[in-house]
């Protein structure tokens, strides 16, 4: 799975791996809590799915006030088999993998994770992202590691939002650059129209554009603008420059072109955001 950059399809995860002549499966499609037959106690992984309905990024980030993930039990019986396995992982403080869905059948893998609190009356537990160094410790976890888990979990959640936003935007645009049509996912990024540091800069598809790494950098640096009608504008100073084929064909050639739009209207760029961003481009150029 090292060939995937963060977002891993379930088809790759579900293959599992061979260990001492046996196939060990990393997770289960129908169940969120997974203990393979080779394990006698605890769990190997937990899973959170991204629902297929709805096309915008979700905001129920499953974080408690102190930064940890809130993970719901399987069903309504805290003592059923799945939840008992999860409780054993809490009691033993054994590491597990967390497959967090960022789009249907696409997951971000968080590892190692630990169940840090157990709440049977709430039918949930707290899960924190730990450090790989913890797995080599032979003594109880020092308090410093518990503090580090909170920050590690918050950082992991930021990465999840970024990965989810990228996956949603690339999917909406058919995994092609909105300007050039480049179809290579490894060279595509989700560009914010209103920056994410802005209070309105939510990771919604309508606040994103699927751009190649080159066009994303040019957009962020106001070397390329997109007006509310989706027309690409290149500053006069850039058009006046004379250079090789990259500048001519990858930048200047798109002056006056229209961007490709997502098929679903709700995924198309917010015109007000485009207008606001285009005003900044005009001021800069």
pLDDT digits (tens, 9 = 90+) for 60-111: 446 666 678 999 999 999 999 999 999 999 999 999 999 999 888 899 999 9
Across the chain, which has 285 residues, the per-10-residue mean pLDDT values are 70 93 93 95 93 47 71 95 97 94 90 94 94 65 66 87 90 96 95 78 84 98 97 97 93 98 95 96 93
| pLDDT at residue 64, rounded to an integer | 60
| pLDDT at residue 4, rounded to an integer | 58
| pLDDT at residue 97, rounded to an integer | 96
| pLDDT at residue 159, rounded to an integer | 86
Query: What are the residue boundaries of the structural domains of the chain, listed by start?
Result: 7-170, 175-284
| Cα 46 to Cα 50: distance, rounded to the nearest angstrom | 14
Question: Could you write out the three-class secondary structure of the chain?
Answer: CCCCCCEEEHHHHCCCEEECCEEECCCCCCCCEECCCCCCCCCCEEEECCCCCCCCCCCCCCECCCCCEEEECCCCCCCCHHHHHHHHHHHHCCCEEEEEEEECCEEEEEEEEEEEEEECCCCEEEEEECCHHHHHCCCCCCHHHHHHHHHHHHHHHHHHHHHHHHHHHHHHCCCCCCCCCCCCHHHEEEEECCCCCCCCCCCCHHHEEEEEHHHHHHHHCCCCEECCCCEEECCHHHHCCCCCHHHHHHHHHHCCCECCCCCCHHHCCCHHHHHHHHHHHHHHC
- What does the mean pLDDT of the chain come to? 88
| pLDDT at residue 56, rounded to an integer | 44
| Cα 108 to Cα 45: distance, rounded to the nearest angstrom | 13
pTM above 0.85, yes or no: no
| Cα 84 to Cα 235: distance, rounded to the nearest angstrom | 62
HSE, CB side, 13 Å, CA atoms: give it for residue 203: 21
| pLDDT at residue 23, rounded to an integer | 95
């Amino acid at each position: 799975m090292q060939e995937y950059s963060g977002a891993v399809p379930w088809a790759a995860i579900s293959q599992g791996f061979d260990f001492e002549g046996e196939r060990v499966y990393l997770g289960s499609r129908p169940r969120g809590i997974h203990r393979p037959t080779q394990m006698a106690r605890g769990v190997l992984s937990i899973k959170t799915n991204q629902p297929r309905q709805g096309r915008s990024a979700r905001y129920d980030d499953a974080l408690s006030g102190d930064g940890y993930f809130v993970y719901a039990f399987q069903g309504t019986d805290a003592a059923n088999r799945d939840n008992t396995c999860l409780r054993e992982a809490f009691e033993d403080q054994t590491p597990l993998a967390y497959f967090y869905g960022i789009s249907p059948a696409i997951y971000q893998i968080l590892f190692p994770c630990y169940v840090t609190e157990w709440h049977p009356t709430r039918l949930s537990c707290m899960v924190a992202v730990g450090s790989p160094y913890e797995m080599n410790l032979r003594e109880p976890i020092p308090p410093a590691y518990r503090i580090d888990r909170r920050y590690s979990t918050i950082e992991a959640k930021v990465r999840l939002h970024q990965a989810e936003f990228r996956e949603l935007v690339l999917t909406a645009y058919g995994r092609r650059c909105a300007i050039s049509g480049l179809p290579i996912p490894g060279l595509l990024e989700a560009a914010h129209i209103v920056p994410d540091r802005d209070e309105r800069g939510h990771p919604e598809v309508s606040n994103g554009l699927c751009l190649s790494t080159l066009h994303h950098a040019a957009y962020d640096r106001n070397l390329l603008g997109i007006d509310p009608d989706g027309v690409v504008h290149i500053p006069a100073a850039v058009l006046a420059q004379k250079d090789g084929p990259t500048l001519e064909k990858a930048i200047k050639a798109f002056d006056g072109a229209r961007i490709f739009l997502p098929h679903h209207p709700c995924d198309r760029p917010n015109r007000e955001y485009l207008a606001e961003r285009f005003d900044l481009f005009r001021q800069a150029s």
